[in-house]
Structure 1
């Protein structure tokens, strides 16, 4: 094997790191068995992160906050920006429910904003701006929102916050906040771009990296297995999720 080639053990470590960081507990166990390696694998911890992510993805922010605090209350205590982002998501869900019909009651949303977000807003200019921006959802009809307001109702915002929560939980557990695989992908993209700029090689304008951002390849806490769309030939289930970072 050439000296510049990664060893099988190195590749196994990168794959295992990805499975653990991104929340594939059963896949990590199966891979460890097939690769004949014995990683420090805390399945319960991984599963807890999976359940928190799923709660956020489904819009059940209150459950997510409760689970985060059960796992480690210091995570939100020490990261006011992340805590505010979760509370803002919760406010958005209340507004979404209130504006779903013409006779929807906006009182719960106003009460939540006044009680949980308004006291925090003066402590940070960005908090105040985000709160004002979010409250604008109550003024304009949901079917005719400006792009900046429509983005608040896009599931991508939930996924962005879920990614930040996952990183914060990993950091609190003394783990890497992102998988090594993403660093390798970023380095590969950087090298490819530099080669294109230098025009030293005849390279294609685009390199397929195997990531499909339209799919979420994480395992579900319902059955511990990847969703069925990962096996229909539409992309590699090992290279989807919240990245690239």
Structure 2
């Protein structure tokens, strides 16, 4: 029994230790996400290319969405001439190659037709949720390029901990974690 508990503990500990986390890559990813969320798309593209130039080269949809976000930011900042020029030079050629890109481009350029974009049918493109969506897409692509999972491991590890504790409950008395949010141990002698 004790041996089984020790082996299980060793297995869980090894999973946590070998989680292969490089803090610099996390910092870099967070910088890219923050740049997109703040509307600094050119900076985000530069940071992505610094991390791995193949990310945007091999993912035309992601590159289009970043360029679309850049167009949205130009429109948001009232740079109409620059927005039109950017749309014609950078996005229109991509729209010719891909029908869904063309539809997204038309939807984005429609923002220019409204003086009050807060009441226009495509005004949602100016919402923070659009920036968050683009930032999330970039983050997932970076994680994939670094051979990491898109979803965090912590929820899976916590489920494994709960399962292991349920197995142990039937076989041993041990200091159990009762509340996962605080990770406080429950005194086994108090039960």
- Structure 2 length normalisation: TM-score? 0.71
- Work out the CA distance in 2 between the residues paired with 1:78 and 1:51: 21
**Comparing 172-181 with 132-141, which one deviates more in the overlay?**
172-181
- Structure that is richer in helix per residue: 2
- Return the match for 2:93 from 114, 119, 134: 119
Matched with 2:164 is: none
Find out whether 1:139 has 2:113 as its counterpart: yes
User: What's the CA shift for 1:94?
Assistant: 0.3
Long gaps (5+) in structure 2: 159-180, 182-191
Count of matched residue positions in the alignment of Structure 1 and Structure 2: 154
Matched with 1:31 is: none
Find out whether 1:88 has 2:61 as its counterpart: no
Long gaps (5+) in structure 1: 17-36, 99-104, 186-235, 237-245
User: What's the CA shift for 1:150?
Assistant: 1.7
- Return the match for 1:54 from 17, 22, 34: 34
- Work out the CA distance in 2 between the residues paired with 1:47 and 1:153: 27
RMSD: 2.6
Structure showing greater Rg? 2
- Structure 1 length normalisation: TM-score? 0.56
Aligned partner of residue 128 in structure 1, secondary structure: helix
**Superimposed CA distance per residue, residues 152-199 of structure 1 (whole angstroms, 9 cap, x where no aligned partner):** 0111111111111111111111111222456799xxxxxxxxxxxxxx
Distance 1:12 1:150, change over 3 A: farther
